[in-house]
Structure 1
């Protein structure tokens, strides 16, 4: 598109005058008004009459002024510069180079100001700030407000015009000093803005440090190693877990912790078994609120994550045959599960009957006992309810519902320790084969065949011990002595819950353990 100059009497265009630049009339209201007044074209009405009382304003947004109408040959955006507005027109064709010289001298005087005058201006600014802080804030907003950007240009333009007038007219020295002090105030305000930005950056750093010291989830964001150390799961698993569970949580404006921090606190409790008093001290929240948060998320995870522990994942024997590790397949080609029982220390109940039922002669302590099963890959696929430590392993298995045709098919192989004398039960109820190491009872020595079978069984059955160890090491709440309130709470008793508090804790820990890596790898 051909660009043409809009100045009256100028015939320059981009086709014939390629050495010139063409600048569009600014859209900024005050600067546009200055340009139009300098161009000084008459306003033409719709009927063709000329109205000299109105300022000409083009309707099109593509109206240009060529570079010949500027002193330096180009447009300058500095309000103090003569070329901030075009000034050379047919009625005034001589370039006003003296204006440029005056502008340069004014800039030079500003740049050569002594440090003494700058210090004096800072002292005056400090005194002014102490005497009238409201005025200085108004002055600051007046200088730096985005909406009054042109006012700033006008002030600078006025100071430059005064500096130019000094070349030809005598000026009061006090006025000149006040102009310089005002320029110094601009510098001081710029320094204060820079200091404010630096302080804000330091505040952000301190807030990040505070989040780390206050057990905040942001301290492990994006770092799998730190998140696994703090919660037992990686950061990616934590985010997916929270995204899934948050759909079932109603957000409350009165909550003292956001939902993500509540889940993070719950996993910290499971991972490190820290006391509720410690969380209350660090977070500055009452202990009762911390306890409510913990059990709220435990109830939700127990209900929503149970599907991670169920036999349906391995009910298809074709899948088991395809994924079973080769080392296991050579020894036990139809292996589907490895079973065992483990115990967790608890506080001694006050009731003597309950204490007798929970006392374990093997551990010599009051315990709860749980039956567990894992598949050949080490994933937990069955978990019974908790029993008192006095109950035998065989009794727990019989009452857990594990010996059922719903879980086993004829010919399935199950590995167990010597204490599980349930081979006849598995054969009669589900036609599965229970394989245990050989007994030495009533024998002086095992035969070579029995020794070899026992060795093969032990080499594979040891993986259930690794699963139990991994579960306890990953979630320390299972290693310490559980308080009675974590075994069976008054709320569960009053509501006649089918699952006790310790059942929920074990189920959640097992489900979270299944979200991690397997303990058995393909070679």
Structure 2
């Protein structure tokens, strides 16, 4: 082993001295002083007092108090906004509930003639009010004491017309008019149908021969053979539910339509005015039988002509005593072709009697007659068809 030199001894003594390795406390104090000196320099170099305050708060450790105060203020503002929104929504809900609890009024339908025509089949608002004034005396005679009405007479009148015009279901009417029970809508319809039929029946006027001649269209006047036509007849069938009774099912089954129907006879003047509507009969009845049973032959004067389809094959024994004549298109039972004259006659009569088909189509503007009517409505079928015929007459004339 070599001996230690004097230089090595001096180096070891310098490493172990206190000045070479400072204590931990002194090192930490030096770091904090340096950090404070750096922050002080930054604060002095800026001119914004908020930044200086932020720096001081960081040094003092007070940052948390400032953040908590700002967050509390924001939450309180949001809570106030939520309370205001909640109050507004509650008020809106109460308003909507008040509107929903009120019965439906006809004002939304009576805003214009177009809406009245669509929902009721009437041509204008004025006609609606005129008919209502005509019906009210009949309604007042049938008013009975009892529970207060949910709907006013105008609302009930509108409900019935919408049922006929649009063919709406009872449940639909209940919701539209905000009735408490479905039975209430059925009772209103059951009460109003006979009432309307009684009030509308005088509007089906049987015109005199002079009046018919005055309003005779030019197409009839041009044909000397048909200038004495007083009335044009045709039958109208609409479908009904099949009855559960076998006998009723057989009576109402129409071979022509292939289903259960109700049959009604229409009488129309040459200018397109419905002047006669028979009672409703089962669909199995023939055209001749319904013509005789309806009593229309007793209303026609001697010398008048009746124009009809080829299904009306009335015998001379029924027409000659009354002095009447039936104008029908020629028809063949076998395979013999029509002559040129017969073809021309068929064309002329078909063009003239198209008016009765147009009137039936106008009556069927009420969709209730286009749908399958329930068995419960068959008893009032005569009144319903009469009402629809009057509504057809109230529309603008056929040109």
Distance 1:449 1:240, change over 3 A: same
Number of the residue aligned with 2:198: 303
Number of the residue aligned with 1:63: none
Question: What is the CA distance between 1:443 and its match in structure 2?
Answer: 5.8
Pair 1:224 & 2:119 matched: no
Cα distance in 1 for residues equivalent to 2:99 and 2:317: 60
Deviations 1:138-168 (A, max 9, x none): xxxxxxxxxxxxxxxxxxxxxxxxxxxxxxx
SS across alignment from 1:229: helix
Number of the residue aligned with 1:476: 367
Distance 1:209 1:334, change over 3 A: farther
Question: What is the CA distance between 1:247 and its match in structure 2?
Answer: 2.2
Distance 1:426 1:214, change over 3 A: farther
Pair 1:266 & 2:160 matched: yes
Which of the residues 295, 302, 321 maps onto 1:401?
295
Cα distance in 1 for residues equivalent to 2:246 and 2:104: 40
Question: What is the CA distance between 1:441 and its match in structure 2?
Answer: 2.2
Cα distance in 2 for residues equivalent to 1:448 and 1:220: 54
Cα distance in 2 for residues equivalent to 1:471 and 1:397: 20
Number of the residue aligned with 2:333: 441
Give the unaligned 5+ runs of structure 1. Answer: 1-198, 489-500
Conserved 8 A contact 1:329-1:335: no
Cα distance in 1 for residues equivalent to 2:165 and 2:304: 35
Which of the residues 286, 297, 300 maps onto 2:181?
286
Conserved 8 A contact 2:233-2:267: yes
Distance 1:421 1:208, change over 3 A: farther
Pair 1:518 & 2:397 matched: yes
Cα distance in 2 for residues equivalent to 1:415 and 1:336: 8
Which of the residues 269, 273, 277 maps onto 1:375?
269
Question: What is the CA distance between 1:423 and its match in structure 2?
Answer: 5.4
Question: What is the CA distance between 1:440 and its match in structure 2?
Answer: 2.0
SS across alignment from 1:249: helix
Pair 1:432 & 2:327 matched: no
Conserved 8 A contact 1:426-1:433: no
Pair 1:328 & 2:220 matched: yes
Question: How many residues of Structure 1 are paired with residues of Structure 2 in the alignment?
Answer: 301
Distance 1:214 1:225, change over 3 A: farther
Question: What is the CA distance between 1:209 and its match in structure 2?
Answer: 9.1
Number of the residue aligned with 2:12: none
Deviations 1:248-302 (A, max 9, x none): 3236770011110000000000001111111223313211111111121111111
SS across alignment from 1:417: coil
SS across alignment from 2:337: coil
SS across alignment from 2:276: strand
Conserved 8 A contact 1:423-1:434: no
Which has the larger share of helix? 2
Distance 1:358 1:225, change over 3 A: same
Conserved 8 A contact 1:336-1:375: yes
Question: What is the CA distance between 1:425 and its match in structure 2?
Answer: 4.8
Number of the residue aligned with 1:239: 129
Q: What root-mean-square deviation, in Å, do the aligned CA atoms of Structure 1 and Structure 2 show? A: 2.6
Conserved 8 A contact 1:403-1:429: no
Number of the residue aligned with 1:142: none
Cα distance in 2 for residues equivalent to 1:429 and 1:343: 30
Question: What is the CA distance between 1:463 and its match in structure 2?
Answer: 1.4
Conserved 8 A contact 2:103-2:150: no
Cα distance in 2 for residues equivalent to 1:215 and 1:455: 51
Question: What is the CA distance between 1:210 and its match in structure 2?
Answer: 7.0
SS across alignment from 1:247: helix
Distance 1:468 1:309, change over 3 A: same
Cα distance in 2 for residues equivalent to 1:208 and 1:265: 22
Pair 1:337 & 2:227 matched: no
Alignment of structure 1 residues 6-25 onto 2, 5 Å: none
Cα distance in 2 for residues equivalent to 1:229 and 1:214: 21
Question: What is the CA distance between 1:401 and its match in structure 2?
Answer: 0.9
Question: What is the CA distance between 1:448 and its match in structure 2?
Answer: 2.1
Pair 1:248 & 2:138 matched: yes
Cα distance in 1 for residues equivalent to 2:249 and 2:297: 29
Number of the residue aligned with 2:284: 390
Number of the residue aligned with 1:414: 306
Pair 1:276 & 2:165 matched: no
SS across alignment from 1:305: helix
Cα distance in 2 for residues equivalent to 1:207 and 1:302: 38
